[in-house]
């Protein structure tokens, strides 16, 4: 399916809408608004939105870099339901991976739930491999898969 969208860096005014989309996609494990604001403050070059011609947000992806600047983390990725399966998720993740490369970060990690086939397939398509499954990642009995990518 085709979709007209462009990817741009996030701006502060996007954050409340992204918070709504976080809730739609991940509640009760969504990032609170104040944490989104903190990611925006700390890693503004690693926070992207996909927007349509009316500047409506169709998807977002953001990440961060670990303390010794060796590993980039994909912190969140989501696409609005009606816009899924149109390659928005893939393109916006590629944008984040490119941003890591410009910062000379070539090792990327993320976590996802083991039953999230859409996300796991997308990440595998981009070269990520399952590294480990942690049964109690958040100490609340919720398992997570850690996936890793080594870029050139
Ligand atoms: C996961 C998600 C971001 C995918 O975004 P998307 O824009 O719909 O995905 P894309 O169209 O870019 O698909 C790229 C690839 O991902 C995989 N994929 C996407 N949706 C899939 C599905 N429903 N089932 C299986 N594989 C899927 C496919 O490999 C696809 O490539 P292909 O179409 O050539 O087969 C989207 O489903 C979403 O927002 N889900 C809810 C939030 C979420 O789970 N985020 C990930 C948290 S780790």
Domain segments of the chain as ranges: 6-150
| Percent of the chain at pLDDT exceeding 90 | 97
**Ligand 1: distance of its center to the CA of 91 in Å?**
11
| Percent of the chain at pLDDT exceeding 70 | 99
- With the most atoms of ligand 1 within 8 angstroms of its CB, the residue from 84, 117, 124, 137 to mutate is 84
116 touches ligand 1 (CB under 6 Å): yes
- The architecture that CATH gives domain 6-150 is 3-Layer(aba) Sandwich (3.40)
Q: Is the peptide bond before 79 cis (omega within 30 degrees of 0)?
A: no
Per-residue model confidence as pLDDT tens digits over 5-60: 999 999 999 999 999 999 999 999 999 999 999 999 999 999 999 999 999 999 99
User: Using CA atoms, how far apart are residues 75 and 1, in angstroms rounded to an integer?
Assistant: 27
Q: Whose CA is nearest to atom 27 of ligand 1?
A: 118
124 touches ligand 1 (CB under 6 Å): no
User: Using CA atoms, how far apart are residues 65 and 9, in angstroms rounded to an integer?
Assistant: 17
pLDDT of residue 3: 75
User: Using CA atoms, how far apart are residues 68 and 133, in angstroms rounded to an integer?
Assistant: 24
Cβ atoms 59, 50 nearer than 8 A: yes
Q: Is the pLDDT of residue 76 over 80?
A: yes
Spell out the SS3 assignment of the chain: CCCCCEEEECCHHHHHHHHHHHHHHHCCCCCCHHHHHHHHHHCHHHEEEEECCCCCEEEEEEEEECCCCCEEEEEEEEECHHHCCCCHHHHHHHHHHHHHHHCCCCEEEEEECCCCHHHHHHHHHCCCEEEEEECCCCCCCCCEEEEEEECC
Output phi, psi for 111, to 5 deg.
-125, 150
- With the most atoms of ligand 1 within 8 angstroms of its CB, the residue from 27, 87, 118 to mutate is 118
For residue 80, the tally of other CB atoms under 10 A from its CB is 17
pLDDT of residue 1: 61
Q: Is the pLDDT of residue 2 over 90?
A: no
What is the distance in angstroms between the CA of the first residue and the CA of the last residue of the chain? 30
**Ligand 1: distance of its center to the CA of 68 in Å?**
31
């Amino acid at each position: 399916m085709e979709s007209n969208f462009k990817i741009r860096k996030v701006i502060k005014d996007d954050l409340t809408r992204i918070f709504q989309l976080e809730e739609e996609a991940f509640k009760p494990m969504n990032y609170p608004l104040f944490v989104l604001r903190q990611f925006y403050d700390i890693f503004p070059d690693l926070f992207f939105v996909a927007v349509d011609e009316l500047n409506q947000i169709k998807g977002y992806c953001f990440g961060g870099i670990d303390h010794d600047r060796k590993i980039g983390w994909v912190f969140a990725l989501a696409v609005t339901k009606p816009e899924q399966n149109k390659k928005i998720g893939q393109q916006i993740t590629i944008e984040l991976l490119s941003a890591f490369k410009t910062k000379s970060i070539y090792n990327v990690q993320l976590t996802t739930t083991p039953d999230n086939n859409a996300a796991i397939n997308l990440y595998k398509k981009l070269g990520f491999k399952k590294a480990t499954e942690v049964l109690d990642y958040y100490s609340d009995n919720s398992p997570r898969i850690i996936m890793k990518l080594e870029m050139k």
